[in-house]
Amino acid sequence: MPAHRHGNSVIRQPLWSRCSLMGFDLNRHWQEPSPWVHPTLHAVKQLIVQLSQDPKMGLEFYIDVHAHSTMMNGFMYGNVFEEEERVQRQAVFPRLLCQNAPDFSFSNTSFNHDVVKAGTGRRFLGGLLDDMSYCYTLEVSFYSYMAAGSTAPVPYTEDTYMKLGRNVARTFLDYYRHNNFIDDNKPQIPNHINTTEVLSQGRLGNGTGNKKTSGCERGAERKNLGLKD
């Protein structure tokens, strides 16, 4: 890996690529993937379309996972919709994740419809699937995260990456109200996910409730440089 000297420190920058062996950025070709040039995308897209059209199966969540090279913490990208109610529903999952994961930043989570992102899985499937499906990109820093109340970044390790994965799974338990599978005395979300009520609850981080919400506006409040999903 290449090394760069900064003052008396040497910063080692990992060298790897998101491109396929043929040189294509696979997260820019979801609209019309080629079975020959983009065989993995083509196969996954066919499977997702098949699941979405099966009334017995359906597809509620699509989350692709990326490493981010310039920002700290974990955060999400979501889509923009005209229906306000759908916009609010889409914000529920990342807000719940923010309550479960000390390294996840809701303040760095953004919902956009940039033209340059039209070929990403999150953007394309957000327009393809029905309005009860949720499509996100989960970005996680290559390097470190800033926990609530901390002034020093904490380097990511294999264990902390795994812990974030477990907290994503925990958030699904919260979302589907299966908290009884874990015993940590966590409060459950309402019996019926009324998005207006959920988003207005202090514990979901709108700043109007108890101080437990402060963690959702944690760390990495930096200018978003080179955002890429």
Residues annotated as catalytic are 139
Task: Decide: 155 and 84 in contact? Cβ < 8 Å.
Answer: no
Task: Decide: 93 and 171 in contact? Cβ < 8 Å.
Answer: yes
Interacting residues of 135 by C-beta distance below 8 A, sequence separation 6+? 61, 62, 63, 78, 79, 121, 122, 123, 125, 126, 129
Residue among 82, 111, 84, 81 nearest 95 (CA): 111
Structure tokens given for 32:
């019309």
Token look-up 């994503």 returns 168
Token look-up 């101080």 returns 211
